[in-house]
Amino acid sequence: MANVGIVGIGHTKFGNSSEYDLSDVLAYAATDALEDAHFLARRKEVDQVIVGNMASGLFCHQSAVASALVSRMDMEPVPAELVENGPASGASAIKIGYMAVASGMADIVLVVGGEVMRKVTGWVGTDYVATMLHTDAEYNMGLTLPAFGGMFTRMYMERYGLTERDLALLAVKNHANGAKNKYAHIQAPCTIEAIADGPDASVVNTYVAEPLRMYSTCPVSDGAAALLLVNMDSPKAKGFPKRPIRIAGIASATDTHCVHNRKDPLKLDAVRIAAEKAYAMASLKPSDISFAELHDAFSILELAISEEVGFFERGKSFLAVRKGETDIGGRLPINTSGGLKSKGHPVGGTGVSQAVELVRQLRGEAEKGRQVLDPKYGMAVNFGGFGNNVVALICAKE
């Protein structure tokens, strides 16, 4: 298989882009990535465009967005396809792009992931996102993704002794990182006093899905991110201004659609299996990873995923958070971008956004105050559904 490298990255500022057309939001990030690679004028030499998007048909009443994107960017007749894998659509698009290059079918692939979710009201958006659940056994019952986040959190608390304050510590950490990230939706720090310890904390930090509170839940965001992938072994890889960041491992796995059908609903088998496959592909182990972007749509998932990928023993990750081990200056910084909690979560774009953060950190281009010291390997986990389709990505500096 060919070595696949990332030579260009692009990212919109996450937040509210509801006044814009989804194609324009995707095109902005794609143009950014092509400019970063000094390839904008040669964009028709791209062999393949892959777009990750979860629900443009619902959120924007728009379909065939990959076709719209290439036309918006004057890239015809470059082939373009859409990849949909729920909130893991972005990382799945990267995986398909990787497969296109590694197989030899393409040398240069533009991967774009994005979503515009805020054209609809919050309650309509919550309903749309919930359609990824099992139609008869979950969605029709009235269940939503935050409902599963809440039930998962309660199970974890009752088994391992996690407290609501521990979840608030994650929010404080991730908001501190996001406050320094120019792309983050919420660029504001928060304090433990304001959201957990102070007299007004229960008002500031209200329940969303008990015991999950607002500061343990990601915002609804619009935005897009993009990568330019190249075959590092091809002559076409020469001439890019920045050294490629190599995709060392990428893998995905699935789990039962219904959460209740998992033998132990607290075990995220798809995360564990995807990570194991990515480690094997990269010939790496968890202790080799310098930093990670983990899909904290609900703060509990940062903890549970960090355990499934082997960073911490099961039920022990929140003890490491208490000690600051996952802070920027800690032993293993997690969600250096601010994570979904602070950077935001435009569902189909998140996986690509996580990869952009890996590249920025590995290039040493993250903002002052949130740059990890000399990282070598970064890992991202993009979590689809409630853990029933997960992609793990490992990027390497060399």
Nearest approach, Cβ of residue 395 and other proteins (Å): 35
Determine which residue in the list 127, 276, 288, 325 makes contact with other proteins, applying CB under 8 A.
127
- Cα separation, 206 vs 213, in Å, equals 5
Determine which residue in the list 59, 152, 215, 279 makes contact with other proteins, applying CB under 8 A.
152
Nearest approach, Cβ of residue 11 and other proteins (Å): 28
- 163 lies in the binding site for other proteins (CB under 8 A): no
Nearest approach, Cβ of residue 351 and other proteins (Å): 24
Would you say 69 or 300 has its CB closer to other proteins? 300
Helix pair 65-72, 22-36: axis angle to 10 deg: 60
Determine which residue in the list 126, 191, 234, 254 makes contact with other proteins, applying CB under 8 A.
126
Amino acid symbol at 299: S
Nearest approach, Cβ of residue 127 and other proteins (Å): 4
- 364 lies in the binding site for other proteins (CB under 8 A): no
167 near 136, Cβ under 8 Å?
no
Nearest approach, Cβ of residue 61 and other proteins (Å): 15
Closest CA to 51 of 14, 20, 79: 79
- 195 lies in the binding site for other proteins (CB under 8 A): no
As a whole number of Å, the end-to-end CA separation of the chain is 17
Reported as type and span, the H/E element at residue 384 is: strand 377-384
Stretch that binds other proteins, among 27-35, 118-126, 176-184, 274-282 (CB under 8 A): 118-126
Burial of 336 (0-12, 13-18, 19+ CB in 10 A): buried
Determine which residue in the list 10, 86, 150, 244 makes contact with other proteins, applying CB under 8 A.
150
Determine which residue in the list 52, 146, 378, 385 makes contact with other proteins, applying CB under 8 A.
146
Query: Which residues are within 8 A (CB) of 364 and not within 5 positions of it... i.e. 6 or more apart?
Result: 371
- Cα separation, 343 vs 95, in Å, equals 22
Stretch that binds other proteins, among 44-52, 107-115, 136-144, 318-326 (CB under 8 A): 136-144
- Cα separation, 55 vs 110, in Å, equals 20
Nearest approach, Cβ of residue 257 and other proteins (Å): 9
- 141 lies in the binding site for other proteins (CB under 8 A): yes
Would you say 123 or 203 has its CB closer to other proteins? 123
Q: Write the CA distances from 28 to 6, 25, 172, integer angstroms.
A: 18, 5, 30
Tokens 């990959």 locate to 66
The phi, psi pair for 382, rounded to 5°, reads -110, 125
SS (H, E, C) 74-104: CCCCCCEEEECECECHHHHHHHHHHHHHHCC
Nearest approach, Cβ of residue 301 and other proteins (Å): 15
**Per-residue x/- marks for other proteins, 237-266, CB under 8 A?**
---------------------xxxx---x-
Determine which residue in the list 58, 102, 137, 281 makes contact with other proteins, applying CB under 8 A.
137
Determine which residue in the list 1, 64, 71, 122 makes contact with other proteins, applying CB under 8 A.
122
Nearest approach, Cβ of residue 150 and other proteins (Å): 3
- Cα separation, 273 vs 64, in Å, equals 32
Contact residues: other proteins, CB under 8 A: 122-124, 126-127, 130, 134, 136-144, 146-147, 150-152, 154-155, 158, 206-212, 258-261, 265
